[in-house]
Structure 1
Amino acid sequence: MQLLSLPAVLSFLAFTTALPTDTSSKPLPLLVWHGLGDRYDANGLHTVGKLANKVHPGTYVYYIRLDEDGSSDRSASFFGNVTEQVAQVCEDIKQDPKLEKDADGVIRADALGFSQGGQFLRGLVERCDGLSVRTLMTFGSQHNGIAEFQVCGSYDFVCKGAVALVKGNAWTDYVQNKVVPAQYYRTLNETTGTASDEYLEHSNFLADINNERELKNVSYAAKISKLENFVMYLFDEDKTVIPKESGWFAEVNATTGNVTLLRDRPIYKEDWIGLKKLDKKGGLVFKTTPGGHMDLKEKVLAETFGEYFGPPGKSTVQQVLGAVENVFIEWDQEKLLDEPKGSL
């Protein structure tokens, strides 16, 4: 990842003065979870936090990490038990004194997830008592899992090691407890087109947070339905997430290529995780953005930050978006999240 260019920084300064202000309350804090192969202290990720703070001054950004050492945090994006990782993050955020609790001891925040960080944040929303998320925003995430594992870079030996362990062993207890991408790997029954028995029986993470097993956790649906907004972005030309429609909870039959959209699936119709109830109140948002996986423009981030983040009593959406548009009329098209390319 890279820092913003000088023109972009100057745009931020103009943007700060252009935005309408609301002094009645400060912005909600923002939880950010990075993707596979990234690290919490990467410059590009912190540039995202700076942008959130420019759009809504005073935003406290908490960069989710599994280790204070950045290199170890990156390794934990490949190796570890995701169920245990989510539980650790839940406890860590409760210990941060800057994440203030209300009278009931609850932390109120917004949440931003890049790639696999998106479904991990959703798991956090569902499982973490004492956390109340207003807006959950995900970019290129794998909410309905992946059907294939990504191709690693030539010298990314950590990635190569993870993929090597998965091949032919995805449903073993060892892999499901150790290899992070395997825990949102999802296979289908070729006859029925629904989740395979192996996935339902052995998946350590995704099958649970999607409530796909016969026994449902009703608290998951209750918590997701309480979101104000769940904003899901797809990248139009995503070749890394297979299938890319997973970011919208769509089911894709790899044999026929048929796509079953979320609203036509049982997970929605029977409201397994609260998406239908959230949709009925207008909180389920499907968006696309041009480019490949994590080929993300600052303008897209600024617009969505203006609309969905900030103080509970912020200025109207129209005012905020108008200010954003004025700042970014002549945008330099520099990509923000361009390292590492194509990571989950």
Structure 2
Amino acid sequence: MARLRTLFTALTLSSLTHAYIAPISTPSTHIANNDDDDNSDTPLPLIIWHGLGDNYAADGLASVASLAETVNPGTLTYIIRLDDTASGDRSATFFGNITLQIEQVCEELAAHPILSTAPAVDALGFSQGGQLLRGYIERCNFPPVRSLVTFGSQHNGISEFQSCSATDWLCKGAQGILRSNTWSSFVQSRLVPAQYFRDPTQMEAYLEHSNFLADINNERVLKNQTYKKNLEKLERFVMYTFEDDTTVIPKETGWFSEVNGTEVTLLRDRAIYKEDWLGLRTLDEKGALKFEVTGGGHMTLDGELLAKVFSENYGVYGRPFDGQKETDYPREKEL
């Protein structure tokens, strides 16, 4: 077991820098958001869940929190942590049972003296933190989330683990173990990325053994209506993909798209949308579902982009949102 854990570490650490958020600078031309009807109101708290290899104490996340307060003065920002130490929190992004991790976050947010008394909170998910936040919303949602924005998240799973260089035999060995043992109870209860692995050519094994994603996406025969009802309560669900993302495979997963070989099936053409398993069609019909693309590779973020996100999607409780309905996805060639 110790050697297996070592191999897992070798595989996942090679992707560390791709999910790690670099410090964000505040745009020099940015002006605080003063468009709300009652500017004396305090903005809703903002909860942030970081991605693989990052940790709650990282400078990049601190700069994101600072920018959120600059854009919407008075914002309380809460960065989710799964351990009190930065190293332990970082380790939990690789190793752990996602179901238990979400239960822990549900309990901690519900017990928080400020978050638990707010009328709602806003949420920001980076990479795998996006689908974990969605799991929080579907499974407990207290305090309730008003706006969810995700960047480069794996909402429809990943079909490949981190690739290896030609001479990295340790990485290749780890990848071989992951591929041959993906659906074992050991891997599905301990390796975080394996719990949102979803290969369209292995759907029978995925539906039977997936510890997290098959459940949270309501893909099994028995649908959890609580998941659907909770997600439908969102006033805003914005999904960003990165134009040049080569870390997340397939990158279209950030929009719930299904990719099988070279064939891409967009969300609106899938049963998960048409039959409204999760409430995504309901959100779309009320103008709450947004599909966005930004340039660069995985987790390529800058202050201008985040300031726009904070201004348009967060702020005081009861603020109006642009209700214009998205009628088309950005063209595939733009991804």
Deviation at 1:9, TM superposition (A): 6.7
Which residue of 2 is the match for residue 221 of structure 1? 228
Deviation at 1:125, TM superposition (A): 0.3
Deviation at 1:66, TM superposition (A): 0.3
Cα pair 1:79 1:162 within 8 Å, conserved: no
Instruction: Sort the Cα spacing of 1:162 and 1:124 in 2 relative to 1 into closer, same or farther, 3 A.
Output: farther
Instruction: Sort the Cα spacing of 1:2 and 1:296 in 2 relative to 1 into closer, same or farther, 3 A.
Output: closer
Which residue of 1 is the match for residue 296 of structure 2? 291
1:154-180 CA-partner distances (Å, limit 9, x unpaired): xxxxx9997575231000000000000
- In the alignment, does 2:120 pair up with 1:108? yes
Which residue of 1 is the match for residue 95 of structure 2? 79
* Secondary structure of 1:135's aligned partner: strand
Q: 2:43 is matched with which residue: 20, 23, 27?
A: 27
Which residue of 1 is the match for residue 217 of structure 2? 210
* Secondary structure of 2:189's aligned partner: helix
1:43-74 CA-partner distances (Å, limit 9, x unpaired): 00111111110000110111001001000100
Residues 1-344 of structure 1: matches in 2 within 5 Å?
1-5=21-25, 8=26, 10-11=28-29, 15-16=31-32, 19-20=34-35, 22-101=38-117, 108-151=120-163, 166-189=178-201, 196-254=203-261, 257-314=262-319
1:304-344 CA-partner distances (Å, limit 9, x unpaired): 11011010244887xxxxxxxxxxxxxxxxxxxxxxxxxxx
Question: Which runs of 5 or more structure 1 residues have no equivalent in the other structure?
Answer: 154-158, 190-194, 318-344
RMSD of Structure 2 on Structure 1 (CA): 2.5
Deviation at 1:132, TM superposition (A): 1.1
Q: Distance in 1 between matches of 2:320 and 2:226?
A: 33
**What TM-score, normalized to structure 1?**
0.81
Instruction: Sort the Cα spacing of 1:313 and 1:151 in 2 relative to 1 into closer, same or farther, 3 A.
Output: same
1:113-157 CA-partner distances (Å, limit 9, x unpaired): 00000000000000015331110100000000000012479xxxx
The AA in structure 2 aligned to 1:31 is I
Cα pair 1:136 1:227 within 8 Å, conserved: yes
Instruction: Give percent identity, aligned residues only.
Output: 56
Q: Distance in 2 between matches of 1:260 and 1:2?
A: 33
Q: Distance in 1 between matches of 2:143 and 2:286?
A: 21
* Secondary structure of 2:221's aligned partner: coil
Q: Distance in 1 between matches of 2:172 and 2:93?
A: 13
Q: Distance in 2 between matches of 1:96 and 1:167?
A: 40
**What TM-score, normalized to structure 2?**
0.83
Deviation at 1:25, TM superposition (A): 2.0
Q: Distance in 2 between matches of 1:129 and 1:266?
A: 25
Q: Distance in 1 between matches of 2:128 and 2:273?
A: 21
Cα pair 1:162 1:179 within 8 Å, conserved: no
Which residue of 2 is the match for residue 328 of structure 1? none
Instruction: Sort the Cα spacing of 1:76 and 1:160 in 2 relative to 1 into closer, same or farther, 3 A.
Output: farther
Question: Which runs of 5 or more structure 2 residues have no equivalent in the other structure?
Answer: 1-20, 166-170, 323-335
Q: Distance in 2 between matches of 1:84 and 1:197?
A: 24
* Secondary structure of 2:229's aligned partner: helix
Deviation at 1:226, TM superposition (A): 1.1
* Secondary structure of 1:232's aligned partner: strand
Q: Distance in 1 between matches of 2:133 and 2:183?
A: 23
Deviation at 1:23, TM superposition (A): 3.2
Cα pair 1:35 1:77 within 8 Å, conserved: yes
Cα pair 2:23 2:61 within 8 Å, conserved: no
Instruction: Sort the Cα spacing of 1:70 and 1:78 in 2 relative to 1 into closer, same or farther, 3 A.
Output: same
Cα pair 1:184 1:205 within 8 Å, conserved: yes
Deviation at 1:296, TM superposition (A): 1.2
Deviation at 1:24, TM superposition (A): 4.3
Q: Distance in 2 between matches of 1:68 and 1:213?
A: 35
